[in-house]
Chains A and B, each alone.
Chain A
Amino acid sequence: MKFKFIHPFWTHVPAVLALLAGVAFTVMALPLPDPAPLHFGLDGRPDKFGSPWMSTVWMAGIAVLYIILSVILDENWARQEKVKTFNWIALLDDVTVAALATVQITYVNMLASSLYIYQFPWLETLIAVVLAGGAAALLEWMRPYRRWETSFQVEDVSQVKAEVERMVKAGQPLAYWEVQSPVYSNVLAVVVPVLMVVIAATAWSEVPWLSALVALVAIALTLSYGGFRTLVTRENIIVRMGMLGIRLLGLRTADIAAAGVHTFAPLKDFGGYGIRFNRDMRGYFLRGDRGVKVTTRKGKSYLIGSDHAERLEAVINAVIA
């Protein structure tokens, strides 16, 4: 099937304009002094020099990353909408890129003046953020609603259910196991820590305590490699995470009052994927929009994401019966 975006690209126009403004202002200010001040102390005086293109490349790179991230998030949001809802995440790239572009423009302006004292442009940044954010909010409000027809095959689990019920009746020990380990989460568990370690190594001589902290966080992120695993036995339901199998959720089947297949909107209902909370329940999911909602006798609810929601529900209901 051909991939088709249902969220319009024109909602990202403020971010793209801000990026173009930042780049255009830099090009118009050519030639830039080389070496140029790159880092400034609290008094606004430069304490590090280097290529004048460094800030432009970083600004443009981060801006492009934010725009791509925003396109992905907005598309996901639009696909999960049952009715038109205001998507606050849509403002993410516009506000961030406007702030970045303002800092870049004032930086280039400072370079052109040859007076190497830079005070952070709080007021200008605030104005740019309010303007870009306002324009983005207006575009988001104007955005048409397009319904995304989701289709999933409801699995016939009558056989599995009958089999598990027979096993439970016979008093046989059983273990049901499934995994959610999407490629994106494993890439994040490798690429992000590598980048963090590179940054930590670069900054080690200047801020060793912060570098050590970043390296520790990088190691912790690496441990998330492997995604979420759900294990159902006659006695327990356990959700574990990552290569060390850190236990995220452990429920005794005797404490469970009900379990049912639950369809949800990850971004709208939980603000993303992973270990998530909302008013009604705690969720553990890395992909998809279906899972099993388990409610305990104390009234607490947990959502376990699943690629085979009907099968997981059948097994849980058989063991709690």
Chain B
Amino acid sequence: MLISINEQDYRPVYVQIVNQVKQQIQDGSLKPGDELPSVRELASSLGINMHTVRRAYLVLRDQKLLVFRLGQQARVARLRSRPAGSAEVAAVIGERLQELITEAFLLGLSRDDFRQIVDEQITIRTKES
């Protein structure tokens, strides 16, 4: 697992950690059952507060991507066998999708242009994983 913090990034540090873990699960670098470093170890390695790492881990746990077992390190959870329900989809990606659509509209993209960009990105990501 490779985690890096970009201080120039406008997103909060915990979101950067969440996104990087998700990306590595998606591209197969992190597999179900893989162990993650302890909160303390990752925080001291990156020179950030422990609460920031803990917050990132808790977000990933709430999204069912990590599991915590008593006395053990955090591990990558099993991948879903069925797609998430509409309520969960709305909670996790709905708002961000709305932001993206707005940005695309303001950039002057048509519906088809936006669809094409999304399709291209899906193709690239699927190839990588």
Q: Which of B1-18 contact A (CB under 8 A)?
A: 1-8
**Known contacts A231-B41, A231-B45: A174-B35 contact under CB 8 Å:** no
* B48, B71, B73 pick with most chain A CB within 10 angstroms: B73
Is A229 within 8 A of B37, CB to CB? yes
**Total A-B residue contacts, Cβ distance less than 8 Å:** 55
- The contact size tier of chain A is 20 to 34
Contact of B46 among A173, A226, A243 (CB under 8 A): A173
Chain B residues contacting A229 (CB-CB under 8 Å) are 35, 37
B77 at the interface (CB under 8 A from A): no
Is B7 within 8 A of A172, CB to CB? yes
Is B2 within 8 A of A160, CB to CB? yes
How many residues belonging to B are interface residues under a CB distance threshold of 8 Å? 22
B52 at the interface (CB under 8 A from A): no
Contact with A along B70-91 (1 / 0, CB 8 A): 0111000000000000000000
Is B1 within 8 A of A170, CB to CB? no
Is B35 within 8 A of A167, CB to CB? no
Bound form: Cα–Cα A172–B35 in Å: 23
A179 at the interface (CB under 8 A from B): yes
Is A174 within 8 A of B2, CB to CB? yes
Determine chain A's interface SS by DSSP, over half rule: mixed
A190 to chain B, nearest CB (A): 13
Bound form: Cα–Cα A175–B2 in Å: 6
A159 to chain B, nearest CB (A): 9
Is A175 within 8 A of B7, CB to CB? no
Bound form: Cα–Cα A167–B2 in Å: 11
A53 at the interface (CB under 8 A from B): no
A10 at the interface (CB under 8 A from B): no
A134 at the interface (CB under 8 A from B): no
Is B38 within 8 A of A176, CB to CB? no
Is A175 within 8 A of B6, CB to CB? no
A115 to chain B, nearest CB (A): 56
**Known contacts A167-B4, A170-B6: A245-B46 contact under CB 8 Å:** no
Bound form: Cα–Cα A170–B34 in Å: 29
Q: Which of A229-281 contact B (CB under 8 A)?
A: 229, 231, 233, 243, 245
Bound form: Cα–Cα A167–B73 in Å: 26
A164 at the interface (CB under 8 A from B): yes
Chain B residues contacting A181 (CB-CB under 8 Å) are 35
Bound form: Cα–Cα A173–B42 in Å: 11
Is B35 within 8 A of A173, CB to CB? no
Is A179 within 8 A of B45, CB to CB? no
B47 at the interface (CB under 8 A from A): yes
Bound form: Cα–Cα A69–B73 in Å: 31
A177 at the interface (CB under 8 A from B): yes
B36 at the interface (CB under 8 A from A): yes
Bound form: Cα–Cα A83–B45 in Å: 44
Is A178 within 8 A of B1, CB to CB? yes
Contact of B3 among A160, A170, A175, A245 (CB under 8 A): A175
**Known contacts A231-B45, A245-B38: A172-B1 contact under CB 8 Å:** no
A315 at the interface (CB under 8 A from B): yes
Bound form: Cα–Cα A172–B16 in Å: 12
Chain B's closest residue to A171 (CB) is: B7
Contact with A along B35-63 (1 / 0, CB 8 A): 11110011001111000000000000000
B7 to chain A, nearest CB (A): 7
Is A245 within 8 A of B2, CB to CB? no
Is B35 within 8 A of A175, CB to CB? no
B17 to chain A, nearest CB (A): 10
Is B45 within 8 A of A175, CB to CB? yes
A160 to chain B, nearest CB (A): 7
Q: List 6 A-B contacts (CB under 8 A).
A: A172-B5, A173-B4, A175-B3, A175-B42, A229-B35, A233-B45
- B residues adjacent to A (C-beta < 8 A): 1-8, 34-38, 41-42, 45-48, 71-73
- Interface contacts beyond A173-B4, A174-B4, A175-B45: sample of 13 additional A-B pairs, CB < 8 Å, sorted by A: A172-B7, A173-B46, A174-B5, A175-B4, A177-B3, A177-B36, A179-B35, A226-B72, A226-B73, A229-B35, A233-B45, A233-B46, A315-B2
